[in-house]
A = this chain, B = another copy of it.
């Protein structure tokens, strides 16, 4: 099937396909978005690229290296959805929403990334965005860092958790999701009075409500911690909080 070799530098030696880190990353995003069981395997990737699966190892040391590169792309996609000029709370809220949206677009990637760090450009940009937001909120030093991590890690974990759930084969997912309306409905009223008293609510609650509660809890925490910090450094004027602390440093 493979034919000839034109000597144009950088041109393909194969019919229609050319191999480069870029091309491999883009193929990964395509198959990841398509979903399914083999959504991110080297064999599936070889198929998508029209080349031998192991050719990928010419451009990435191993699959983990590729994953980090692909994941960093998805971080960039989430970032692009966050408009400039929003006040810090809306900025973080939007970042959380975009992270979830993009994460669900590439579930294999985000489920594998939930406990990772890409150490790549777009991650730097996200860290900078969150640090800027918590600074604007009024946090600095170790406080800024702890609360940035609290927020960032939490979003990452939630998105990964949700993506992993979505990836399950329908039968298993259905088992997990319908538990609230099936198994929990059969709970013994004596041993589990609270569950028994809330079966309807347990079955009706949505992921959106849960995510919103979680994000707002974190944003509230940042705001309150900033208020505490201000009360210490500036015991008098705790009235009008953030006009000056809002100034960006570039």
Binding site for B on A (CB under 8 A): 64, 111, 114-117, 119, 124-125, 127-128, 131-132, 135, 141-142, 144-147, 149-150, 153-154, 156-158, 160-162, 164-165, 172, 175-176, 179, 183-184, 187, 190-195, 198, 201-202, 204-205, 209-210, 213-214, 216-218, 220-221, 224, 249-250
Q: Is the interface of A mostly helix, strand, loop or mixed?
A: helix
* Chain B min CB distance to A20 (Å): 24
| Closest residue of B by beta carbon distance from A157 | B157
Residues of B within 8 A of A111 (CB): 115
Taken together, the copies of this chain in the complex come to 2
Residues of B within 8 A of A187 (CB): 124
| Closest residue of B by beta carbon distance from A196 | B128
| Closest residue of B by beta carbon distance from A144 | B198
A161 to B111, CA, bound (A): 10
A6 to B146, CA, bound (A): 62
Given known contacts A135-B194, A201-B144, A217-B221, A156 and B161 CB-to-CB distance under 8 angstroms: yes
A18 to B64, CA, bound (A): 40
* Chain B min CB distance to A49 (Å): 25
